[in-house]
Amino acid sequence: MTQISAPTVKEVLDAAEQAMRRGETRGPAIWLKRVRESAPLHPRSQHLLGLLHRLQDRDDLSICALRTSLLLRPGIAMVATQLGILLKGQSKHLANLRLQEQAVVIWPTDAAILNNLGNALSEVNLLSRATEVFEKALSSAPGDAIIHANLASVLVKVVAPAEATRAATRAILLGPGEQSAYLSLSAVLCHGKYDADRRAGRCSGRG
């Protein structure tokens, strides 16, 4: 079997990654197969194979490839966070949380990874920690509408209406299309109306 030299492996993987960013799958599938024939346990090849399967909506195969990549090279934060998100899609929230925590240990200042950890914490109702993590993410990416919206959603859950309103408003100003921010703002307003009606004696107390 002809061996591919290391520089050529990198060139092939670079080309596959660029093509997948454009949404292509056929070319990357051929190129990744070529690399795997020469280096079946190449960590980056397994990572890209996982992303390829994700593009093809083959999540079980994607999870398998990403797990292999992470075992071969545990220090890659993006592999851990991507694998966690896929497991979350299978309702494996604790597994997702562990992987997001692992990713943050590897890359503690990356806003996208911190945002994923905040979401994982929120999903298991660790809301105080989620708030802290979203705030840390915003210190790295203060203009990220999605993170502001996610923070607003958590603040609604912990009944912090003023803070939730500020976060949701900021998200809307930064990203007018961020629907979750409107939902958070609506929840704050509805909660405020309920409190006002209750104080005025207009609530029946029936859910």
Q: What is the pLDDT, as a whole number, of residue 6?
A: 52
pLDDT tens digits along 11-66: 999 999 999 999 999 999 999 999 998 888 999 999 999 999 999 999 999 999 99
Return the exposure string of 149-160: e unless at least 16 CB atoms fall within 10 Å of the residue's CB, then b: bbbbbbbbbeeb
Domains of the chain by residue range: 1-73
pLDDT tens digits along 119-147: 999 999 999 999 999 999 999 999 999 99
Tokens for 87, please give them: 């497991």
Which of 51-65, 153-167, 171-185 shows the lowest per-residue confidence on average (mean pLDDT)?
Answer: 171-185
| Contacting residues for 145 by C-beta, under 8 A, at least 6 apart | 170, 171, 172, 174, 175, 178, 181
Mean pLDDT of 61-82: 96
Query: For residue 177, what pLDDT band results from cuts at 50, 70 and 90?
Result: confident
What topology is assigned to 1-73 in CATH? 1.25.40
